[in-house]
Structure 1
Amino acid sequence: MMHPNLQSINAYHGHYVATQEDEVTPLLQGDRETRHRSSGTSFGFSVLNLMNAIMGSGILGLAFAMANTGVIGFSVLLLIVASLASYSVYLLLTMCIQTAVTSYEDIGLFAFGSPGKILVASTIMIQNIGAMSSYLFIIKTELPAAIAGFLSGDHTGSWYLDGKLLLVVAAACIVFPLALLPRIGFLGYTSSLSFFFMVFFALAVVIKKWYIPCPLTLNSTVEIFQVANSSDECKPKLFNFSKESAFAIPTMAFSFLCHTSVLPIYCELKSPSKRRMQNVANLGIGLSFLIYFISALFGYLTFYDKVESELLEGYSRYLPHDGLIVTVRLFILLAVLLTVPLIHFPARKAFMMMFFSSYPFSCVRHIVVTLALNAIIVLLSIYVPDISNVFGVIGSTTSTCLLFVFPSLFFLKLSREDFMSRQKIGASALLAFGICVGVSSLTLISLNWIKK
């Protein structure tokens, strides 16, 4: 029997609800002629699109997570999070086929009506605010270092090396005007470069591991390929658990979140099917896992226990004028400046949907909401002392919900399978894992703040 919410919403949208066994929904089949004319998106480009959605500022915090969990501990945790991210994509695709909708918010609508849609939209909005704050935090820390890399002599105290001032200027002169644009097409193309910048960053981390000696010194004129000293502080720890370890899984969850992009990518996929899109997700998550692991490992093996919560800060300290690091820093800053306005759009859309969905478009409202969002993320970036706090709080709350809790909860609500079936047991386990990780991580992070 059709779920009541499915029946009412289906009648409203005029969509047929397919059975779980159907590989391609009639909604997608109905668009297939259009896709044949436009050829759709190939498998390879779909993987790249998904990896572009996955990879972001989280890559800068994973070496810090490895330093606080150990090489083996980090590897196991990262593999678990990546595997569960792939499984939660499977649950989303299953519900997409069952309900014939193509957005995360509408799955929430099918499962719990308007409250479900508002819950998902508000979670996405908060997640996007956190992501934008992490990007602007990078501007605050890295833009002064990038400017200093082109200067000789001591310029300490100069206004053009004040990270907070530069952040306000960049947000007012670049981020805000771009976020006001009515269309984001060109930003979508340019922000796709951020993925290649992240790959370049990972390669630079591998190369520069051999340029910084251990024990670490502030003498930047080191011999190339200098062999590290064999002291205790230069030996990697296989397992390491401390109060900072509470940030590890939330940072990983933050880093692998791509689930709001999965269904749109599915709709654009050439010859779409559940199995084909799952292969896209598995390959995209797997390659992202590989890049994340390489950058985290070599970042940790470069700085060991002295690794910074934002990895580039370490290179700013020990190789301030290195050409490769300066280039990487400029690439990362360019990616940030083009990505933050792009993230503004879904955050603003979610806000408008929750509070002004029944009102016609207003240019004044558009400007005010954009300005308010911009002010919020700038203030968060200025007053949050450490990027690990952004990864920790957002990762343990909204990222955990979107990655683990919501897919499993909505699946348990919508699936017509027996409760003791393998799929429902798996979804129940994922739900329990997400709740435990979110609550325990947030509690430990809060206790860590109180003790400070």
Structure 2
Amino acid sequence: MVFFVGVLIYKKTQLPCPLPFFYHNSPNLTMNSSMLHNGTGIVQFSRAETAIHLDLRLPATAHTTDIYYEPHGHDNEDMCRPKYFVFNSQTAYTVPILAFAFVCHPEVLPIYSELKDRSRKKMQNVSNLSILAMLIMYMLSALFGYLMFYDNVEAELLHTFTKVYKFDTLLLLVRLAVLTAVTLTVPIVLFPIRSSIITLVFGNQEFSWIRHILIAAAILVFNNMLVIFVPTIRDIFGFIGSSAATMLIFILPAAFYLRLVDTVPLRSPQKISAAIFLAVGMVFMIVSLSLIVLDWIHNPPGSGGH
């Protein structure tokens, strides 16, 4: 993740604004052969071959590409001006994705069991440090990703770079690093999921290697099917974030506290706060799921509406 953020910051310093593909659907763009002679509106950037998604195809060298275009009006100013608040059909995904990003509950017990001289205070310090580090990296990656592509950023940031680069070594290394991180994370996430399924379905039955392997294989096959058939990972993050993540962050902790803690009076500030937390979680889950489903209905995944 640190490498990914570093590459984003570096690419932000290398790419101009606006990028040529910003004008792909712009009605205020005209191009003609005279531009090749007078050099009107030249954008030049280097260090990679670029994929020009414009009607005019110009020969590109291995390291430098000159894109000629002539924007009208205030296209440059509008396209490269950040919008601080944007409300549209995709806004429904924002909070669910954030909730999903900070769900670390399934890994808490495995990590706690590996701590030396483990204690609740030490585990709390580990959690605080981990969440703070991820918050900083998420904010930096979101900020610089947006400042590179603005309204043209896609649901998957790395995929947006394919509109700019045909091939880039740094981006290839980032993809490899992400792939490695996800691959190494699978056993950590798989362990609590499989343990929960075994406990829920099979109870106290004796350990079986066949059952152990089949459950793991079924989970992996299900994940691969999602990757193949769901157009963007945003849909997965949005749905799980508004359902499972909301349950883990808001609803279940508050419900457990209200149900299991008998030493605190029902009208105490702690239980009132827990009840409010529970209600907020329920409202958030219902509203988020409703908005996401409505977005799927009006903009079916894969139709280009996203």
TM-score band, normalised by the shorter chain? 0.7 to 0.9
Q: Which runs of 5+ in 2 are unaligned?
A: 22-41, 48-74, 300-306
Equivalent residue, structure 2, for 1:432:
279
Query: Which of 290, 294, 306 pairs up with 1:447?
Result: 294
Q: State whether residues 107 and 189 of structure 2, in contact with CA within 8 Å, keep that contact through their aligned partners in structure 1.
A: no
Q: Mapping of 1:264-413 within 5 angstroms?
A: 264-266=110-112, 269=115, 274-413=120-259
Change (3 A) 1:272 1:337: closer
SS at structure 1 position matched to 2:45: coil
2:60 alignment counterpart: none
Partner of 1:58: none
Distance change >3 Å, CA 373–CA 348, structure 1 → 2: same
4+ residue runs of structure 1 moved beyond 6 angstroms?
none
Structure 1 residue 368, shift from structure 2 partner: 2.7
What's the secondary structure of 1:222's corresponding residue? Answer: strand
Return the offset for 1:237.
0.5
Q: Quickly say closer, same or farther: Cα 1:243–1:303, change in 2 above 3 A.
A: same
2:252 partner letter: F
Separation in structure 2 between the aligned mates of residue 348 and residue 332 of structure 1, nearest angstrom: 24
Tell me whether 1:215 sits opposite 2:215 in the alignment.
Answer: no
Q: Distance in 2 between matches of 1:276 and 1:309?
A: 37
Cα distance, 1:423–1:283 mapped onto 2, change above 3 Å = farther
Q: For residues 158 and 209 of structure 2, what CA distance do their matches in structure 1 show?
A: 39
Shift of 1:433: 1.8
**Structure with the bigger percentage of strand:** 2
Q: Which residue in the other structure is 1:138 paired with?
A: none
Deviations 1:273-317 (A, max 9, x none): 555543433332222211110110001101111111111111233
Aligned residues: 251
AA matched with 1:438:
M
2:5 equivalent to 1:202? yes
Question: Aligned letter for 2:86?
Answer: N
Structure-2 separation of matches of 1:282 and 1:233: 38
Given candidates 418, 421, 437, the residue that maps to 2:265 is 418
CA contact (8 A) 1:220 1:318 kept: no
How far 1:200 sits from its partner (Å)?
0.9
**Counterpart of 1:320 in 2: which secondary structure?**
strand
Per-residue deviation, residues 5-41 of structure 1 (Å, max 9, x unmatched): xxxxxxxxxxxxxxxxxxxxxxxxxxxxxxxxxxxxx
SS in 2 for 1:308: coil
Q: State the Cα deviation string for residues 353-401 of structure 1 (Å, max 9, x = none).
A: 1212233233333333233222211211111111111011100011111
Q: Residue 222 of structure 1 aligns to which amino acid in structure 2?
A: F
Check conservation: 1:266, 1:277, Cα contact below 8 A: yes
CA distance in 1, matches of 2:158, 2:43: 15
User: Partner residue of 2:29?
Assistant: none
Relative to structure 1, the CA distance from residue 376 to residue 240 in structure 2 (aligned partners, 3 Å threshold; closer, same or farther) is same
Q: What is the Cα deviation at residue 404 of structure 1?
A: 1.4
Segments of structure 1 that go 5 or more residues without pairing to the other structure are 1-197
| Identity, % of aligned positions | 43
Q: 2:88 maps to which residue? A: 242
Residues 196-234 of structure 1 show CA distances to partners (whole Å, capped at 9, x for unaligned) of xx111011111111222222225996158xxxx842011
Instruction: Give the whole-Å Cα distance in 2 for the aligned partners of 1:300 and 1:395.
Output: 21
Question: The residue matched to 1:287 in structure 2 has which SS?
Answer: helix
Alignment check: 8 A CA contact 2:106 2:192 kept:
no
2:14 aligns to what SS in structure 1?
coil
Residue 341 (structure 1) shift: 4.0
Shift of 1:264: 4.8
Superposition CA RMSD, Å: 2.4
CA contact (8 A) 2:92 2:288 kept: yes
CA distance in 2, matches of 1:199, 1:230: 31
> What is the CA distance between 1:333 and its match in structure 2?
1.3
Match of 1:75 in 2: none
Q: Distance in 1 between matches of 2:130 and 2:109?
A: 14
Query: Match of 1:436, as an amino acid?
Result: V
Relative to structure 1, the CA distance from residue 278 to residue 342 in structure 2 (aligned partners, 3 Å threshold; closer, same or farther) is: closer
Q: Output the amino acid matched with 1:256.
A: F
**Cα distance in 2 between the residues matched to 1:430 and 1:341:** 32
| Contact 2:106–2:189 under 8 Å retained in 1 | no
TM-score, scaled relative to structure 2 = 0.74
Does the CA-based 8 Å contact 2:107-2:188 persist in structure 1?
no
Greater Cα shift, 380-389 or 343-352: 343-352
- Alpha-carbon distance in structure 2 between the residues aligned to 1:283 and 1:342: 19
The one-letter amino acid paired with 1:212 is L
TM-superposed CA distance for 1:332, in Å, is 1.0
| Cα distance in 1, alignment partners of residues 216 and 190 from structure 2 | 8
Instruction: Provide the secondary structure at the position in 2 that maps to 1:209.
Output: helix
Kindly indicate which of the two structures has a greater share of residues assigned to helix.
1
Structure 1 residues 329 and 405, CA, compared in 2 at 3 Å: closer, same or farther?
A: same
Post-superposition offset of 1:263: 4.6
Q: What CA distance in whole angstroms lies between the structure 2 residues aligned with 1:277 and 1:335?
A: 23
Does the CA contact (< 8 Å) of 1:404 and 1:431 recur in 2?
Answer: yes
Contact 1:220 1:319 in 2 (8 A): no
Partner of 1:441, secondary structure, is: helix
Q: CA deviation at 1:418?
A: 1.9
**Contact conserved, 1:400 with 1:438, CA < 8 A, in 2?**
yes
